[in-house]
């Protein structure tokens, strides 16, 4: 109604939580358990409590989306392995820090932050992943996950450097040899890296999100929108 006070996101989150979700202490514990259930690497487990303090999953924990989030976590692992040319020792380890579901069109967005094992702290490299359900010709639904990887350090004057992979080559990383025959082993080094440059505002929005407690989930939509406007290098 016009003039009626609209509830804040925090009010909405608290008033619409299922039974068992109430206090900050309970929400923190549930967030720890939720992140732990997403098939994260064992290397990032010691940082779950720190990430849970952010409370970036308040708006999605009550939804039946955990299977999709596991797919997104696994997708980041695969992306990292490809970007590391198949070298498991060089693959970065990422922890999901927050997610937001809007509708079936935009789908589910999730922000992932690297754990810097050398410095033993959360790092400055990130992924943002988007999960949508698409319908096949036969009417069946399947998962479609896209991503962008970026860093908040060493920004160049034009903005934030973004990287993604050729979707078809990522799915089928096998290439023909000089005889025209496909190799029997994947060659991740030949998967096309697609480079973009995005606004410096991406850095500002990510910092705003990760430095807040109970951040507004709309910030993830803002980050994704800024990335959509990035220019191909």
Task: Please give the pLDDT value at position 25.
Answer: 80
Task: Please give the pLDDT value at position 149.
Answer: 98
Task: Please give the pLDDT value at position 23.
Answer: 74
Task: Please give the pLDDT value at position 22.
Answer: 54
Domain boundaries, the chain: 9-232
Question: How far is Cα 66 from Cα 105, in angstroms, rounded to an integer?
Answer: 18
Percent pLDDT > 90 in the chain is 75
Is 70 exceeded by the pLDDT of residue 1? Answer: no
Instruction: Confirm if 191 and 165 have CB atoms less than 8 A apart.
Output: yes
Task: Please give the pLDDT value at position 2.
Answer: 44
pLDDT tens by residue, 2-40: 444 444 444 444 455 554 445 778 889 999 999 999 999
């Amino acid at each position: 109604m016009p003039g009626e006070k609209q509830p804040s996101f925090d009010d909405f989150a608290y008033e619409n939580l299922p039974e068992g979700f109430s206090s900050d202490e309970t929400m923190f514990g549930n967030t720890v358990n939720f992140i732990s259930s997403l098939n994260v690497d064992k290397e990032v487990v010691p940082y779950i409590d720190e990430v849970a303090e952010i409370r970036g999953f308040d708006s999605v924990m009550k939804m039946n989306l955990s299977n999709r989030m596991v797919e997104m976590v696994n997708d980041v692992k695969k992306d990292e392995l490809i970007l590391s040319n198949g070298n498991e020792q060089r693959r970065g380890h990422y922890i999901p820090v927050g997610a937001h579901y809007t509708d079936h069109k935009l789908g589910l967005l999730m922000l992932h932050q690297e754990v810097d094992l050398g410095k033993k702290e959360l790092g400055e490299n990130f992924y943002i992943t988007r999960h949508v359900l698409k319908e096949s010709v036969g009417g069946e639904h399947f998962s479609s996950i896209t991503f962008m990887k970026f860093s908040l350090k060493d920004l160049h004057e034009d903005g934030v450097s973004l990287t993604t992979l050729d979707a078809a080559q990522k799915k089928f990383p096998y290439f023909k040899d000089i005889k025209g025959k496909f190799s029997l082993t994947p060659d991740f080094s030949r998967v096309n890296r697609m480079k973009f440059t995005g606004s410096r505002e991406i850095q500002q929005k990510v910092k705003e999100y990760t430095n807040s407690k109970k951040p507004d989930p709309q910030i993830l939509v803002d980050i994704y929108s800024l990335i959509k406007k990035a220019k191909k290098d």
